[in-house]
Amino acid sequence: MTITITAFERSPDRGKGLARDMRVRWALEEVDQPYDVRLLSFKAMKEPAHLALHPFGQIPTYEEGDLALFESGAIVFHIAERQPGLLPDDANARARAITWMFAALDTVEPPIFDRALVRILERDEPWYEQRLRVLEDTIRKRLSGLSTRLGDADWLDGAFSAGDLLMVTVLRRLQGSGMLEEYPNLAAYVARGEARPAYKRAFDAQLAVFTAASTG
């Protein structure tokens, strides 16, 4: 059955792989699953046809036959559950990998995403510096906990899993901030993720959309 995902027609990150379809593309590449992409303008994302698929009018969505899903975490989990390669077979190891999926999205991502938003939307506000400092303190607490747990391992719990896939995409948003480099094992962990052939294929595919939109 054909899999169709949605993505930004023109991604705000200019194709740097920070839009949330990147996670889904990467997961599909890890399990060697071909997919189609339907590109959406910001206007189309808020129209009834897309709201029927995604109640909050965002990307990505995932369609496969009768099934329609949204939320990048849920889509990555669905892919990981159906195809081997992203979740361990052992029941306890599988539950721990799923724990890292939730940790990436619920505990590590929120302050990192807020920092990115604040840098765009609140740069001219009088409180900008103070607010950034508060967020960066929270981010450092998360990075410190994560760095200690990772130690000198390659991945968070045994083999590469959907938990690592999501965590790497979350941490990448800190690139350029200098914060990742304060935790060398985390910087190396992100680089390890980005070096995976499936990551590279996914990154190139989403970058090609932006490049085509810019030159077309």
Whether 5 contacts 40, CB under 8 Å: no
Of 2, 36, 66, 176, the one binding a second copy by CB under 8 A: 66
Which residue number, 71 or 204, has a Cβ lying nearer to a second copy?
Answer: 71
Looking up tokens 């206007």 gives 43
Which residue number, 25 or 54, has a Cβ lying nearer to a second copy?
Answer: 54
Looking up tokens 């990115």 gives 116
Which residue number, 42 or 127, has a Cβ lying nearer to a second copy?
Answer: 127
Rounded Cα–Cα distance for residues 171 and 142 (Å): 11
Residue 141: both structure tokens together: 């607490």
Taking contact as CB under 8 A, which single stretch among the options 7-15, 89-97, 174-182, 186-194 is the one that binds a second copy? Answer: 89-97
Q: Does position 114 bind a second copy by CB under 8 A? A: yes
Q: Does position 23 bind a second copy by CB under 8 A? A: no
Taking contact as CB under 8 A, which single stretch among the options 22-30, 34-42, 53-61, 189-197 is the one that binds a second copy? Answer: 53-61
Which residue number, 2 or 56, has a Cβ lying nearer to a second copy?
Answer: 56
Of 32, 47, 106, 137, the one binding a second copy by CB under 8 A: 106
Taking alpha carbons only, the member of 119, 138, 127 closest to residue 177 is 119
Smallest distance from the beta carbon of 102 to a second copy, in angstroms?
A: 4
Of 24, 86, 103, 165, the one binding a second copy by CB under 8 A: 103
Rounded Cα–Cα distance for residues 168 and 203 (Å): 13
Q: Does position 8 bind a second copy by CB under 8 A? A: no
Positions in the binding site for a second copy (CB under 8 A) = 51, 55-58, 66-67, 69-75, 77-78, 92, 95-96, 98-99, 101-103, 105-107, 109-110, 113-114, 125-127, 130-131, 141-142, 145-146, 148-149
